[in-house]
Every structure is written in C-alpha cells, then in structure tokens.
Amino acid sequence: MIHFNIPPHTGKELLYIKQAVDNKKICGDGEFTKLCSQWMESRFHAQKILLTTSGTSALEMAAILCGLKEGDEVILPSYTFSSTATSIVLTGASCVFVDIRPDTMNIDESKIEAAITAKTKAIVAVHYAGISCEMDTIMDIAQRRHLKVIEDAAQGIMSTYKGRSLGTIGDFGCFSFHETKNYSMGEGGALVINHPEYNEKAEILREKGTNRAKFFRGQVDKYTWVDYGSSYLPSDLNAAYLYAQLESADKINTDRLTTWNIYHENFQSLQKSNVLSVPFIPKDCEHNAHMYYVKLKNLSERTKFISYLKERGIQSAFHYIPLHASPAGRKFGRFFGADDCTSSESEKLTRLPLYYGISDKDRNYVISCVLNFFQ
C-alpha cells in the first residue's frame, strides 16, 4: 500500500521531547516553544510568531484580532477547509464566498472587488497547495478599501511570493502543523503577526485573557485577567517534536520538491494531450511542494481514476467539497457572483501520494500507474 501521507519524522523528535520532560517544563511557552517561534521569525523575517494549538486556532485568533463582529462580512474562497470559515463565524461575521481561478485553485483576485459591500471588513487569502494567491492585487484592494487581510497559509509555510514568505504579507498569517502538513507537531499551528500594535492583545488572547506573558518578561509584578481570551498555546512536548522538523526544514522541503518535480516532469505531457491538467506555478511564486494534484476531465473520470489507483494499492484523495454548498455554508454565508470554477474544478481534482521520505520505487510505481490509466 502506498499511503497518501505519512507524517514527517526526521530523527531528533523523541530526543527533544525527552529534553522537555527533563527540563520539567511540559506546559506551554517552554524552551522548545521559544525555539520554534524564534526559528520561524528569523527564517521568515516575521515581526512576531506565536505557536498555537492548531491552524484553526491561529485563524480564530486572527479573526478576533481583526475585530470582526456580528453584521460584518468577510470575503474568502469557497474552495477551502471548513476552519477558514468557522473562524469567521465564531465572531458573528458572515462569509461571502468568491470564485476561484482554475489554474491555481486560489481565490480569483479579479472578482474580489465587486463582492465588497459597506459591511466588508476583511479578505482571507487561502494559499492552496502552498502556492501563493496574487497578493499584490489583494493587498492593493485591501489598502484602498480599508480591509484587513488574513493569510490562511496552513499549507504555505516555506513558500514565497516575490521573495516574501507566505504569512508575512497580510495583517495576519496562519500556519498549520497538523500531521498532514509539511512540518508537524501532531496538532498545532502558528499565528504570524505583522504589525506590532497587535502583539500584546494577541498574547492576552492566547493566554486565557491574562497578561501572563508580560509578567514572565518582568514588565508587570503580578498577572491578572485583563481581556477576553482563550487557551491557544500548545504543550512544549508538541513544540519539541516540531523543533526537530524545523531544524530539518530545508531537508524536508528539498525532498518534497524532488517528488513534486518528478511527478510534474512525467505528467506535463499528459496535459499537452488534454487528458488531465497539472498544477500551475505563477512566475512570482516559489512553492513548498505541499501537494501534487492532477485534474481529470470530470467527476466520473476522477472516480474511475481514484478506484484504478486504489486497486493497485495507491491511496489518492480528492479534496474540498465547496463550502457554499454545505449545510453550514448555506447558513453562515453566501456565494457572490457566478460559480464558474469552484464547483466544476473541485470535482476534477485528485491529490497523489506525496510525503517526506517517499521512496524512489514507490514514486515510480505511482507514475507508471497514472500513465497506464491514460493509455
């Protein structure tokens, strides 16, 4: 069986977890949490990064810090994971779904402006497959129309747009370290804060509404409940696992890119003969090989393709059912404009096995099965 995903493990994870235990500090904001934040801040040139319990909780923090409230509207793609939307719904705001581009599966930046109303407060840019949205256009709209931008970079850590790390371009960026992502801590995530005026509010929100972070820095002599908050900080045990992966970030990235490129070299010719389409990387984007997908002609072709691979011991996976068509999507949002691509393109897409350490043999077997399907 060739798995669709195997969670990354590079070697030092258990050693670091043992060190956290030996440090007698396994709750949040221990040594490994600090090491992870510092590593990311310096690598991505980020003003501040806080480790969170999930990508979802990073999105929730971003929505709250944007000051979203009942009656507000937020523009986002419908082709995304539920938590992009639940974080908005949590604040009482509603979702306005905009169509995607068929080439990158990202929000169609040319359709955003028409969806803006007097109630619009923010845009969520989801960097699908670790390939950046057209951020210059999105930031320009946001600036002119006074909107906040949240980057859902759950899949986009280590990717760049015009040389800038994804997550550091909007007001807030959100990473995920779920086991299906490029770097993992089981469950976890991080919030990138790109304006220092939000730092203190974010720390309070993350630490149950207290100013404990300030207390630990010696800036106040006792800590107390100062504002709304929740518990968004992960255990240092999980951070220890993650730190081992961040230390090997380039090794993991290179390994994934190798697989991505080999798939791409083999499948590009099929696109020329019009039987499938392959991912498109815009020229300003460097990606992290989060995912390799192919798009079949239609839903029935995709169904046949997935079962053909399954019969040969290969797990492949389709992806999101568009949110606007789901029961909660209908309740909490609306689709603006025509659904030219969201529904039709999502029905064609299948993701192939891609994980750190996939063997040459397994990769070649996947390639030959895919090629045989089209013979």
Ligand X SMILES: *Cc1c(COP(=O)(O)O)cnc(C)c1O
Residue 33 or 176: the one with the smaller Cβ distance to ligand X is 176
Q: 68: which 2 tokens? A: 């979203």
**Burial bucket for residue 312 (CB in 10 Å: 0-12, 13-18, 19+):** middle
Would you mind telling me the total number of residues written for the chain in this entry?
Answer: 375
| Smaller CB separation from ligand X, 126 or 370 | 126
Contact window for ligand X (CB under 6 A) among 8-16, 147-155, 210-218, 220-228: 147-155
Q: Which of 29, 152, 236, 347 binds ligand X (CB under 6 A)?
A: 152
Q: Could you tell me the smallest distance in angstroms from the CB atom of residue 221 to ligand X? A: 36
Using DSSP bridges, classify how beta strands 160-161 and 285-286 pair: parallel, antiparallel or unpaired: antiparallel
Contact 335, 324 (CB under 8 A): yes
Distance of closest approach, residue 189 Cβ to ligand X, in angstroms: 5
**72 CB neighbour count, 10 Å cutoff:** 18
The answer to whether 154 contacts ligand X (rule: CB under 6 A) is: yes
What's the min distance (Å) between Cβ of 53 and ligand X?
8
**Binding-site size, ligand X (CB under 6 A):** 14
Site for ligand X (CB under 6 A): which residue of 78, 91, 165, 176?
176
Q: What count of other Cβ atoms lies within 10 Å of the Cβ of residue 42?
A: 10
| Residue 178 binds ligand X (CB under 6 A) | yes
Binding to ligand X (CB under 6 A): which residues in 33-62? 54-56
17, 124, 126, 192: residue in contact with ligand X (rule CB under 6 A) = 126
In the complex, least distance from residue 290 CB atom to ligand X, rounded to whole angstroms: 8
Whole-angstrom distance between the N-terminal and C-terminal Cα of the chain?
Answer: 23
Interface residue with ligand X, options 78, 84, 120, 211 (CB under 6 A): 84
Coil vs helix vs strand at 37: helix
Distances (CA, A) of 287 to 102, 127, 158, 279, 348: 18, 10, 7, 11, 22
> Segment contacting ligand X (CB under 6 A): 149-157, 230-238, 321-329, 366-374?
149-157
Q: Is 189 in the site for ligand X (CB under 6 A)?
A: yes
Neighbouring residues of 80: CB distance < 8 A, sequence distance ≥ 6: 126, 128, 152, 320, 323
Across-strand partners of 48?
193
Q: How far is the CB of 58 from ligand X (least distance, A)?
A: 8
Closer residue to ligand X (CB): 155 or 168 = 155
Name the minimum Å distance from CB 192 to ligand X. Answer: 14
Q: Which of 104, 155, 245, 253 touches ligand X by CB under 6 A? A: 155
Nearer to ligand X, 87 or 248 (CB): 87
CB of 177 to ligand X, least distance (A): 7
Which one, 59 or 296, has the nearer CB to ligand X?
Answer: 59
The window from 35-43, 115-123, 151-159, 235-243 that contacts ligand X (CB under 6 A) reads 151-159
User: Cα separation of 56 and 359, whole Å?
Assistant: 32
> How far apart, in Å, are the Cα atoms of 232 and each of 19, 203, 209, 229?
23, 9, 11, 9
- Position closest to ligand X via CB: 55
Instruction: Compute the distance between CA of residue 340 and CA of residue 24 in angstroms, rounded to an integer.
Output: 55
- Compare residues 170 and 212 and give the one whose CB is closer to ligand X: 170
Measured from the CB atom, the residue of 83 and 316 that comes closer to ligand X is 83
Strands 94-98 and 333-335, sheet pairing = parallel
- 80 lines the binding site for ligand X (CB under 6 A): yes
User: Which CB sits closer to ligand X, 208 or 319?
Assistant: 319
Contact 195, 171 (CB under 8 A): yes
Contacts of 335 (CB under 8 A, 6+ apart): 78, 96, 97, 98, 99, 324, 342
CB of residue 166 to ligand X, shortest distance in Å: 12
Residues that bind ligand X (CB under 6 A): 54-56, 80-81, 83-84, 126, 152, 154-155, 176, 178, 189
